[in-house]
Copies of this chain bind each other. A is one copy, B any other.
Amino acid sequence: MKAEHIYKGLSEPDRIRILNLLSEGPLCGCFMQEIMDMGQVKISKQLAYLRKLGLVTSAREANWVVYRLAGPIDPILVENLKIIRGQEAGDSELRLDLSKRQEMMTRVACNEKAAPEPVRKGCCCEK
């Protein structure tokens, strides 16, 4: 993994938010939409970009696509994901995103792979 690929991935606020969310575990697209309160197309395009850079992988599970940080995760990325949400230099929006994520993960039933469960009514759109 070239260092500049990682930095390119991190050089846009929405992508930072996505990578930050994925650092806590896999997530489907509609969860991201809900947490980040952003349109589907915009998120999908950034995910395609991150996939092109080799930072993210995707796998369809039932009706959804679950995204993950591509392993093995480069030490540079690991370190930066730690820094950007750190208390000193970190962004509070990123920590808020993680709280929302945590709240959603406990609110809906999820299996151990973090894919939404049960298949239909447990997803983020069940409100």
Contact = CB atoms under 8 A, between A and B. Distances in A.
Contacts of A76: 80, 83-84, 89
A2 to B, nearest CB: 8
Interface residues of A, number: 19
* Count of this chain's copies in the oligomeric assembly: 2
Contacts of A13: 4
A91 B6 CA distance: 14
Given A4-B11, A11-B11, A13-B4, A83 B75 contact: yes
Nearest to A88: B75
Interface in A80-95: 80, 83-84, 88-89, 91
A4 to B, nearest CB: 5
A73 B43 CA distance: 32
